Amino acid sequence: MAGIFSSLSSYCILLVFIIVADLSLCTAQNDKQVYIVYMGSLPTGEYSPTSHHLSLLEEIVEGRSADGALVRSYNRSFNAFAARLSHAEVERISGLKEVVSVFPSRRSQLLTTRSWDFMGFPENVKRNPTVESNIIIGVIDTGIWPESESFSDKGFGPPPAKWKGTCAGGKNFTCNNKIIGARVELTSGAEATARDAEGHGSHTASTAAGNAVSDANFYGLAQGNARGAVPSARIAAYMACEEFCDDHKILAAFDDAIADGVDIITISIGKVVPFPYEKDTIAIGAFHAMEKGILTVQAAGNSGPDPFTVSSHAPWIISVAASSTDRRIIDKTVLGNGQTFVGSSVNSFALNGTKIPLIYGKAVTSNCTEDDAWSCWVNCMNSSLVKGKIVICDMTDTSVTDEAFRARALGSIMLNDTYEDVSNVVPLPASSLNPHDSDLVMSYLKSTNNPQATILKSEITEHNTAPVVASFSSRGPNNIAPEILKPDISAPGVEILAAYSPVASPSDNADDKRSVKYNVVSGTSMSCPHVAGAAAYVKSFHPNWSPSAITSALMTTALPMNTAKHADAEFGYGAGHINPIKAVDPGLVYEATRDDYIRMLCSMNNTHFSKCPQHIEGSPKDLNYPSMAVRVEENRAFTVKFPRTVRNVGLAKSSYKSNITTGSQINVMVEPSILSFKSVDERQSFVVTVAGKGLPANSMVSSTLVWNDGTHSVRSPIVVYTIKPSN
């Protein structure tokens, strides 16, 4: 058989990997499951596959015949068989030299790019197509690739009548009825273009509002239908970034987007160091967007998991954390002694099962210290020493794979990966291993004079504990306004497949010349457009809702996340994991106006957005926000009141009863505890009182308030904490 396994024969040293699956997914006989035993290509010459398969089974099965265990012998195009095996038998057959891999026979189904389905938002979800087609999402990013299938205008009518923008995409850029506007905020002149050379802008735009595209994949990985939340919506692209994003260009993009008449702005941009609102161009631009009824959605940042790293602080912006879906992309490293380790990378390369020499440390360099060599520091590797080998590196970073790629190594094994929850695209066969497996690799390296390994092409595996906030996702508390809980909400941001620029490197390595239409990328940059798309979906049913009403609907209907998996709880995921369908019918909404935000700013002595009265009472905790947070002094008794008002957007005549879930360290009361409404749009106010005898230093306590009328559950997190910044 020609292809990646063409060099294999039954006499080769082959690879073994076992993927354990749920028993319910496979045919079983007593304690036996159907497994597929894959053995590579059919050997040349005289060979009887079925006889060989039966002889292997005779060696390993117990208590029954080989014929009874064999389900199917594959013998025409490749060398494999299916058999009912116990776990012990699987372990034995996996150790045979002829065997490449053993894996359970799972039931398959037609796949999508997964994130929207994972959120319970299928492609055939109820829609309001006419209104959806009038929604315009402004994408402030690196531009867009207009020829992508995700942005085809087939079936689209002309732009909405409200559109005031233009197509100023520059050189070789043409808009259509899907991409109805484009502007270059970077430079002017003949060479200026809104064409996306980085891939980032195309990825975020298609996640929010891309068309449904079948058979999208990254070299066969994550194959399925790629789509945005609102495929009928229009896109306006504002190119404010290349490799970096200057503040003045970001502000220019906001300026244009607001004037052009977009409905939603998605901006997957932020800073590592927080700035006060008046010095934060995104907060400034979003404030003015809010004034015009435009909602801004921003990525929370990629500086986690440390506290106080969230880079989106303003309450008039939805700040989005990144979490996992139920699908992970992993790869496997197989040592010369047969040990197999599951690692992290999006590796599209196959080494054909060939065992390749391993090299490490001082052996890779002639011009660096041994410490730098161990870390595979930039320009440390000597190409003549690493060419044709797999390099072991002590550091896990894109610079490691870039250096190995530069030096023409055949592969790279990166050790001591403390962030095992995300895989990134690599420019060569590479894998990141956790500290435990790293120690085993080093033990093997020291135990033999001829260390060898191979790295397998990545594969898809189930992630049954999802959603879990990604380690890289920035955490609260809010450094600028400690009484405003940030981030607001979590959405899929790990290993997301979406449209990409064919001129951009999929691994961000300039020398990686592969060209792809769809790429797998991780970050809060990816979670942000999920929420922007969900916000547009809500707006398609409620075109006249304010930005704060849409924010409230998304937050109060979010799915609770498992606190046992999140030590930082709401500081990691905010109100919870986004649930777009529920957000269309939230029952009650918390709303805030421009004047409310001004009062909040004045309570912080911030006079930069408006002139403040001489005497301002209250603090940011009094803002009518869907979540509640307060920082208290450690080991001191406290009583804190949160005044709130909700508007009825559910049933005209309804009665909501409050329900509090809290721990023993605080007491929470709601007055009144029942809200009765006689009409739609009626408003009712209440006060939440939180009291406690004192919390220890660097601690937090979470509670939940839920208003329930039997149909709607309107959920708000309450967080009391003593955590303070270290500096």
Token pair listed for 77 = 């195009």
Report how far apart the first and last C-alpha atoms of the chain are (Å, whole number): 63
Q: Helix/strand/coil (H, E, C) string of 336-375?
A: CCCCEEEEECECCCCCCCCCEEEEEHHHHCCCCCHHHHHC
Among the options 525, 540, 548, 603, which is catalytic?
525
Residue 3: Cβ-neighbour burial (10 angstroms; 0-12, 13-18, 19+): exposed
Distance CA 609, CA 569 (A): 32
Q: Is 200 a catalytic residue?
A: yes
In 418-531 the beta strands, taken as DSSP E runs, fall at 430-432, 452-455, 459-462, 489-492, 496-499, 518-521
Rounded CA separation 523/474 (Å) = 10
Backbone angles phi, psi at 700, to 5 degrees: -145, 150
Residue with tokens 């898809």: 460
258: enclosing H helix or E strand: helix 247-260
CA 271 from centroid of its chain's CA atoms: 19
525 part of the active site: yes
- C-alpha to C-alpha distance for 376 and 312, rounded to whole angstroms: 34
Q: At what angle do helices 524-541 and 547-556 cross, to 10 degrees?
A: 110
Measured between alpha carbons, how far is residue 628 from residues 412, 488, 558 in Å? Answer: 47, 11, 15
643 prior amide bond cis, ω within 30? no
According to DSSP, the β-strands at 390-393 and 628-631 are unpaired
Which token pair is 665?
Answer: 């360290």
- Strand segments, DSSP code E, in 367-458 are 390-393, 411-414, 430-432, 452-455
Q: Which amino acid is at 61?
A: V
**Catalytic site residue from 200, 203, 313, 530:** 200
Sequence-separated (6 or more) residues with CB below 8 Å from residue 568: 305, 307, 469, 475, 476, 700
Q: Which of 141, 417, 437, 709 is catalytic?
A: 141
| CA gap 533, 544 in Å, rounded | 17
Judging by DSSP bridges, how do beta strands 356-360 and 390-393 pair with one another? parallel
- Identify the burial level of 39 via C-beta atoms within 10 angstroms of its C-beta, where 0-12 means exposed, 13-18 middle and 19 or more buried: buried
* Residues taking part in catalysis: 141, 200, 525
